[in-house]
Structure 1
Amino acid sequence: MSGMRPILDMNAFREGDSSSAAVSRRLRNVGAASVLFYREPIEMVGATGATMIARDGTRYLDFYNNVPSVGHTHPKVVEAVQRQIATLNTNTRYLVDIVDRYLDALKSQLPAHLGNVIMTCSGSEANDLALRVARAATGGTGVVVSQAAYHGNTALTTDVSPSALKAMPLPDWVVAVAPPGPAQYGQDVADGFAQAVGGAIATLKDRGHAPAALLMDSIFSSDGVFADPPGGLAKAADVMRAAGGLVIADEVQPGFGRTGSHFWGFARHGLQPDIVTMGKPMGNGFPMAAMAAQPDHLAAFCSDVGYFNTFGGNPVAAAAGLAVLEVIHQEGLMENAHEVGAALIAGLRDIGHQSAQVGDVRGAGLFIGLDLIEQDSGTADPAFTVRVIDAMRDEGVMIGAAGREGATLKIRPPLCLTRDEADRFLAAFQRALDRLAAPKN
Structure 2
Amino acid sequence: MTGLHERHLAVSPDWLALYYRHPLELTHGEGRHVWDADGNRYLDFFGGILTTMTAHALPEVTKAVSEQAGRIIHSSTLYLNRPMVELAERVAALSGIPDARVFFTTSGTEANDTALLLATAHRGSNQILAMRNSYHGRSFSAVSITGNRSWSTTSLSPLQTLYVHGGVRTRGPYAELSDERFIKACVADLEDLLGHTRGVAALIAEPVQGVGGFTAPPDGLYAAFREVLDRHGILWISDEVQTGWGRTGDHFWGWQAHASSGPPDILTFAKGIGNGMSIGGVVARADVMNCLDANSISTFGGSPVTMAAGLANLSYLLEHDLQGNARRVGGLLIERLRAVGAGSPAVREVRGRGLMIGIELVRPGTDEADPDRAAAVLEAARAGGLLIGKGGGHNTSVLRIAPPLSLTVAEAEEGAEILGQALHTAT
Regarding TM over 0.5, the answer is: yes
Q: Which moved more, 1:187-196 or 1:84-93?
A: 187-196
Alignment match of 2:62 (pick from 71, 78, 81): 78
Secondary structure, aligned partner of 2:71: coil
1:313 and 2:299 are equivalent in the alignment: no
Deviations 1:220-248 (A, max 9, x none): 12222223532232112222232231100
- Shift of the 372–125 alpha-carbon distance from structure 1 to 2, 3 Å rule, reads same
1:214 and 2:207 are equivalent in the alignment: no
Q: How does 1:153-302 map to 2 (within 5 A)?
A: 153-163=138-148, 164-166=151-153, 168=155, 173-178=160-165, 179-184=167-172, 185=174, 186-187=177-178, 188=180, 189-203=182-196, 205=197, 210-270=199-259, 271-300=262-291, 302=292
Partner of 2:425: 435
Deviations 1:105-156 (A, max 9, x none): 1112111415100111111111111011111111222112122221112211
Secondary structure, aligned partner of 2:13: helix
Partner of 1:43: 25
1:380 and 2:369 are equivalent in the alignment: yes
The AA in structure 1 aligned to 2:327 is H
In the alignment, the residues of structure 1 paired with residue 370 and residue 93 of structure 2 have an alpha-carbon distance, to the nearest angstrom, of 43
In the alignment, the residues of structure 2 paired with residue 40 and residue 196 of structure 1 have an alpha-carbon distance, to the nearest angstrom, of 45
The AA in structure 1 aligned to 2:392 is G
- Shift of the 96–168 alpha-carbon distance from structure 1 to 2, 3 Å rule, reads closer
1:152 and 2:137 are equivalent in the alignment: yes
- The count of aligned residue pairs is 413
Alignment match of 2:92 (pick from 107, 110, 119): 107
Alignment match of 1:119 (pick from 101, 104, 110): 104
Q: What's the CA shift for 1:309? A: 0.6
Secondary structure, aligned partner of 2:264: coil
Q: What's the CA shift for 1:267? A: 1.3
Secondary structure, aligned partner of 1:144: strand
Q: What's the CA shift for 1:170? A: 6.8
Secondary structure, aligned partner of 1:119: strand
Deviations 1:195-234 (A, max 9, x none): 333344345x1xxx53111101111122222235322321
Alignment match of 1:139 (pick from 98, 105, 124): 124
- Shift of the 55–377 alpha-carbon distance from structure 1 to 2, 3 Å rule, reads same
Q: What's the CA shift for 1:292? A: 0.5
In the alignment, the residues of structure 1 paired with residue 185 and residue 287 of structure 2 have an alpha-carbon distance, to the nearest angstrom, of 32
Partner of 1:325: 314
Backbone CA RMSD of aligned residues: 1.8
In the alignment, the residues of structure 2 paired with residue 169 and residue 402 of structure 1 have an alpha-carbon distance, to the nearest angstrom, of 24
Contact 1:76–1:323 at 8 Å: present in 2 too?
A: yes
Q: What's the CA shift for 1:29? A: 2.0
Q: Percent of pairs identical after alignment?
A: 32
Contact 1:259–1:366 at 8 Å: present in 2 too?
A: yes
The AA in structure 1 aligned to 2:389 is G
Deviations 1:249-307 (A, max 9, x none): 0010000110111111111221410000001111111101110111111222x22x232
Q: What's the CA shift for 1:385? A: 1.2
Contact 1:180–1:190 at 8 Å: present in 2 too?
A: no
Partner of 1:25: 7
Q: What's the CA shift for 1:409? A: 1.1
Contact 1:63–1:414 at 8 Å: present in 2 too?
A: yes
The AA in structure 2 aligned to 1:103 is A
Secondary structure, aligned partner of 2:423: helix
The AA in structure 1 aligned to 2:169 is G
Q: What's the CA shift for 1:322? A: 0.6
Contact 2:381–2:419 at 8 Å: present in 1 too?
A: yes
Q: What's the CA shift for 1:70? A: 0.6
In the alignment, the residues of structure 1 paired with residue 373 and residue 398 of structure 2 have an alpha-carbon distance, to the nearest angstrom, of 10
Alignment match of 1:57 (pick from 17, 26, 39): 39
Q: What's the CA shift for 1:34? A: 3.0
Partner of 1:403: 392
Alignment match of 1:88 (pick from 42, 60, 72): 72
Secondary structure, aligned partner of 1:233: helix
In the alignment, the residues of structure 1 paired with residue 409 and residue 129 of structure 2 have an alpha-carbon distance, to the nearest angstrom, of 39
- Shift of the 96–367 alpha-carbon distance from structure 1 to 2, 3 Å rule, reads same
Contact 1:190–1:233 at 8 Å: present in 2 too?
A: no
Secondary structure, aligned partner of 1:47: strand
In the alignment, the residues of structure 1 paired with residue 324 and residue 164 of structure 2 have an alpha-carbon distance, to the nearest angstrom, of 32
Deviations 1:349-385 (A, max 9, x none): 1122222111211111100111112211233222211
In the alignment, the residues of structure 1 paired with residue 126 and residue 234 of structure 2 have an alpha-carbon distance, to the nearest angstrom, of 9
In the alignment, the residues of structure 2 paired with residue 114 and residue 373 of structure 1 have an alpha-carbon distance, to the nearest angstrom, of 47
Give the TM-score, by structure 1 length.
0.89
Give the TM-score, by structure 2 length.
0.92
Contact 2:229–2:236 at 8 Å: present in 1 too?
A: yes
Secondary structure, aligned partner of 2:12: helix
1:34 and 2:16 are equivalent in the alignment: yes
The AA in structure 2 aligned to 1:193 is C
The AA in structure 2 aligned to 1:353 is A
- Shift of the 114–361 alpha-carbon distance from structure 1 to 2, 3 Å rule, reads farther
The AA in structure 1 aligned to 2:132 is Q
Partner of 1:9: none
Partner of 1:3: none
In the alignment, the residues of structure 2 paired with residue 388 and residue 112 of structure 1 have an alpha-carbon distance, to the nearest angstrom, of 41
Q: Which moved more, 1:155-164 or 1:358-367?
A: 155-164
Contact 1:162–1:170 at 8 Å: present in 2 too?
A: no
Structure 1 gap segments, 5+ residues each: 1-18
- Shift of the 198–48 alpha-carbon distance from structure 1 to 2, 3 Å rule, reads farther
The AA in structure 1 aligned to 2:60 is K
